[in-house]
Every structure is written in structure tokens, then in C-alpha cells.
Amino acid sequence: MIFPLLINNKNATMKLPSFIQIYNELITIPTISSVTDGKLDCTNKVVIEKLANWFNDLGFKTTITSVPNTRDKYNLLATYSNNDNLTQGGLLLSGHTDTVPFDEGLWTKDPFKVTELDNKWYGLGTADMKGFFAFILESLRGIDLKSLTKPLHILATADEEITMAGAAYFAQHAQLQPDCTIIGEPTSLIPIRAHKGFVSNIIRITGKSGHSSDPEKGINAIEVMHLVIGKLLELKQKLKDEYHNTSFAVPYPTMNLGIIRGGDAANRICGCCELIMDIRALPEMDIQSLYDLLCQTLKPIMDRYPGRLKVDYEVDPIAGYECQHDNPALMEVEKLVNQKAQTVNYSTEAPFLNQIAPTIVLGPGSIEQAHQPDEFVSTEFLKPTIETLQKIITRFCK
């Protein structure tokens, strides 16, 4: 479905494919992020280069950056400015270019093709969130870019689904200072001003294996982990009792014991046991202090079994983020979309980009479709999203 938009920068936009063609080209290129299965993991370079070409055609200055310590992953920054000011003020629109893997047996549509059916566009990344870049490009067809007085930036990041390395690297080295950042994750076009952090820890117990007929000659790692779990459940209750933020539907930090592995035979003393857990931290909680609290909680067991208990991060922790209610940029966005900002429990790249400018998460599609078989974006979001982006660009860049 293509909407009749006013095209003021005709020469530039005539070079662009149609909205649905852009959408389909983005979905067709696999950009899966996976550290558990290297065969599934893909570079995002082709998508980054394609986006760079499209924004170049519109007169943007583009920079492609290799993200260190990733598996051939890249960021793109595209900037449009009608003066020498390339960094101060204006707007940053941001999204990630990778997707999660897909469950082949559960998909009934081709994940690498946009399938239009029953007022839905199906495909891997249609909602989460490669499709957002198609919306940006389509919205620019209806804007006279030469009328902008402040810079407009487009950021496409790498590896959000695993490490968020792209956003972290960009935030560390960015020179620009926009007035507002919009991350186009699927929020049903409801502005999101805060979310919890994500901390995933691995707790490893190294016991002493031996024959089960003489338990005293060994140290059973499963039994030690039993003691660890008892302490973790005490910490879980402590977090619930002592930390609160009423902005969230679940107003306290949560803990989940997600995976446990240990042992190899019924007649063998378990020599190794591993637990993977997560904590969803409130925005005001310091991640290092949370790690210290975890270690302090487990210290009695560490002292009892010296050198046999180790606490690591599974992946780099993601802090929570919050854009305050009275932030001028947030208030402007709330007025433009006629919606009060909300909070969510899932994580995004906002903690990194919020270091650069007030950041709001706002995009088409529902978060309920993210990471699901037969992912889709409903066509009811198409026209409102384009109109919303045009309003936001006009407000912050003219």
C-alpha cells in the first residue's frame, strides 16, 4: 500500500524504490544475530550499504563504521544539513539492523520476504525492526529537505539483539548533540520514556568429582548450587522489598533463574554446575552496585568453598533508562502524537543513546510480534507512522 504524499524533493525521491520495494529489500537480506550458532549469524553489511546508498540519493552525508569486537558488523550514520552545522541540535532517528533467529518449523510464511495478507505485512524484521528504515525513507518523500534549518541524523546500528555493541560504540564516540532521539522499536506508536535494565549472570560451581559410593571424597557441585539458589531467593525478596519505582507495572527489580546445567551420571559426584539468571534492574539502579550486591550475597558460600564459585556476566549488562516526565523533548513528542509516555519492562538501545540526547522509544507495530513466528506489522500503522515521523522531523529540524 502506497500513500499519496506530497513530494517536494522530487529529483531525490524519484531515485528511491517504492515503499513496499524498500521494505521487501530490507527483509530479503538476512541479518540474524546469533552467538550460540555461528552458522546462523550474519553480517549486516549489505543492509548497511543499501541504506547508505538510499540516503546518499537523498543528499545525506553517510558514514559506515565497523563495530569492534563483533562478527563483521557495521553502523551507519546518515546526516542531512543545509549549513555547516552537522552536530548541534536537530533530530536523531535510530534503529537496529539485525534480527533474532527464526523457528523454521513454526513459520508459515517466508521469513525473508514481505507477504501481505489480511492487512498485515509478514516477515522477519517487519516489526522488530528493519522496517522502520522504510518508514523513515517514505516519510522523507513528503518533506522538503532544503527547508530544514537543523540537522537530521539517521542511525542504523549492529548487534542489538545480542550485545548492543553498535549502540554502545556509537554513544562512546559520537560527536553530535541532537535535541531529541527517537528509537523506532515497535511500541504501537505509544511513546516510551523508561525501561528496566537487563543483567544476565552465569554462576559456575566447580566441585570435586568422584564415585557416588563415597560422597565424602568429593564436593558435589549440585549441592553447592542448592545453597547458592537459597541465597539468590533471599536476594530476590530483598530486591522486591527495598527497591521500588511506581512508574512500572511491575514496580520492583525482578530476578529469574533461567537455566541450570550440571552432572553427567547418577553414580558420579557432580563436578560442575552452572546457573544462568537475569535481573531486570530499575533505571535508577547502578549496575556495578548490583553486581557487588550479588557477590556479597554469595560471599558466605564463597568463603565456605574457596575458589569454587565464580560469578560472570553472560553478556555485557544493559542499564535501565529513563527520560524524565518534564523533559522538553518528551513533552513535545507527547503533544505531537497526543499520547502520554509509558514505561516498559523490555530493553532497548535507549540507555546508550540517552547519553547523547533525550531519547524516546516510539515506532510502528506491536512488541507482541517481536521474536515471534510469522512476525508482522499491521498495515493500520503505515499511514499514521509516516505522518508521525513527518511531524517529528518538522518539529525538531525546521
- 241 is known as an active-site residue: no
Q: Is residue 180 within 8 Å of residue 332, measured between CB atoms?
A: yes
Active-site annotation holds for 98: yes
Distance, CA of 15 to chain centre:
31
Strand 120-122 versus strand 376-378 pairing type = antiparallel
**Amino acid (1-letter code) at residue 323:** C
CA dist., res. 358 & res. 327, Å (int) = 8
**How far is CA 92 from each of CA 139, 176, 334, 360, rounded to the nearest angstrom?**
14, 9, 17, 11
Q: Are 395 and 337 in contact (CB under 8 A)?
A: no
Among 319, 382, 381, which residue's Cα sits nearest to residue 350?
A: 319
Helix 131-140 / helix 382-397 crossing angle, nearest 10 deg: 60
Query: Residue ranges of the alpha helices (H) in 83-174?
Result: 131-140, 165-173
- Residue in 25, 41, 98, 185 annotated catalytic: 98
- DSSP category for residue 93: E
Which candidate in 25, 41, 138, 160 is catalytic? 160
The residues, any chain, with a CB within 8 Å of residue 106's CB and separated by 6 or more, are 373, 374
The residues that are catalytic are 98, 160
